[in-house]
Amino acid sequence: MAPPMMATAARPRDDQPRRRQALLLAASALLFLLCGGGAPGAGGVVVAVAATASATATPGLVFHVGGPRGWRVPDANTSYTWWAMNNRFHVGDSLYFRYGGGDSVLVVDREAFDGCNATEPVARFAGGATTVPLGRPGFFCFISGAPGHCDGGQRLIVRVMVHPAPGAPAPAPSAAAAATSHPGASASGPGASSGAAAVAAGGAGAAVAAAAMGVLAGLVLLLQ
C-alpha cells in the first residue's frame, strides 16, 4: 500500500521584487512630471519666465561718449565714428556726454549732421554733463554746438537696435514649411504668438499624460 501523500503547503509568492519594480516605475514617472519631462512647453516654461523677468529687471547701459576724454574735438588718432562702431547700442541704453563749459550737445537730423548745420537742432543741451536716453530703434545724430567743432570731427551718429526676445526658440521645420505654404501669414502677428502658446501647451499636456500612464502602470503592478 502506497504511503499517503503528504499535502505540501504552497510557498507564498515573493512579491518584494515586483513591488520594488512598481515603486521604482511610479517614482520615475513622478520625477518625469516634476521636471517637465524634457518637453519644450513644460519645464522650459519656468526657465523662459525667469529669463524674461531677469531681462526686464536689467537696466540699460550708460555709454560715456569719447571714453575718458569726453565730448571734445578728437585728435588725429581718435574718431567718434570708430568709437560708435566698437559699441552696440540698444533701446533702453543712454549716452552720457561730458564736456567743457563753452561746448554743447545738439541733437540733429541726418542732413544737419552731414552738413554740420547747428542752426535748427532738434534739441540743445549745455551745462557740462548731459545724459541722452535712447528710447527708440534707429539712428541718433549729435554734433557740437561750438563754432568749428563739428567740422573738426566732434560729431557722433549711433544706430540703436532692439533687444532680441529672451528665450525666443528657433522655428521648427514644420512651422517654417507652413509659413512657406502660406505667404500671407506674418510671423510677427498675433496668430504667431497664440500658435506658439498652443504648441507649448500641447507639449506640457503630453508630458503630463506620459507621467500619468507611468503612475498607473506602477499601481497596476503593485496591486497584482
Q: Which residue type sits at 210?
A: A
Contacts of 151 (CB under 8 A, 6+ apart): 116
Domain boundaries, the chain: 62-161
Residue 108 CA neighbour count, 13 Å, CB half: 23
* Tens-level pLDDT at each residue, the chain (224 residues): 444 443 333 444 455 555 555 554 454 444 444 444 444 444 333 323 233 333 344 579 999 999 999 999 999 888 999 999 999 999 999 999 999 989 999 999 999 999 999 999 999 999 999 999 999 999 999 999 999 999 999 999 999 999 876 665 554 543 333 333 233 332 233 333 333 333 333 444 444 445 455 544 554 444 45
* Selection from 128, 56, 117 nearest residue 92 by Cα: 56
Report pLDDT digits (tens) over 211-224: 455 544 554 444 45
Contacts of 196 (CB under 8 A, 6+ apart): 169
- What's 62-161's CATH class? mainly beta
Report pLDDT digits (tens) over 8-44: 334 444 555 555 555 544 544 444 444 444 444 443 3
- List the 129-133 sheet strands across, edge first: 62-64, 94-98, 129-133
